[in-house]
């Protein structure tokens, strides 16, 4: 496996990790909202939004750099 293919796999793995982290953060945020932990809910929803945007940007990095 050459370096480019390896780096491609690393990029795919980071992409999936960011997506899973975003989904988990959303779930934790909504769970915290149900438990009346509003600040934690906002924190997790913010983290989820940033992680999901990062995962999206990895699919089309050129548009994100504009």
Partner 1 sequence: MIASAEPPEALPLTERTRVLLPGLYAWMLTVGLPVMARGVRTGPRLTAAAALVALLLALSIVGQRLTVARVFGIYVFVLCSALTWALLGSDLSPAHLDRVRTALGTLGWVLYAFGWGRVRTLPEAGRELQIAPGAPLIPRSRLHARAVPIVAFAVCAALVCEGLAFRVDRPEHAVLAHGAAVACALLVLSVGSRIALAQGTRVELASPAQRLNAVALRGALLALLFGLGLVWAALR
Footprint of partner 1 (CB under 8 A): 4, 7-8, 10-12, 14-16, 18-20, 22-24, 26-27, 29-31, 33-36, 38, 43, 45-48, 50-62, 64-65
Angle at 15 between CA 14 and CA 16, to 5 degrees: 90
Minimum CB–partner distance for residue 13 and partner 1 (Å): 10
Minimum CB–partner distance for residue 37 and partner 1 (Å): 11
Which two tokens mark 12?
């795919």
């Amino acid at each position: 496996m050459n370096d480019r293919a390896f780096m491609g796999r690393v990029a795919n793995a980071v992409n999936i990790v960011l997506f899973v982290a975003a989904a988990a953060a959303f779930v934790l945020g909504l769970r915290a909202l149900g438990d009346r932990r509003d600040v934690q809910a906002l924190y997790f929803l913010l983290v989820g939004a940033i992680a999901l945007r990062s995962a999206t940007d990895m699919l089309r990095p050129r548009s994100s750099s504009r």
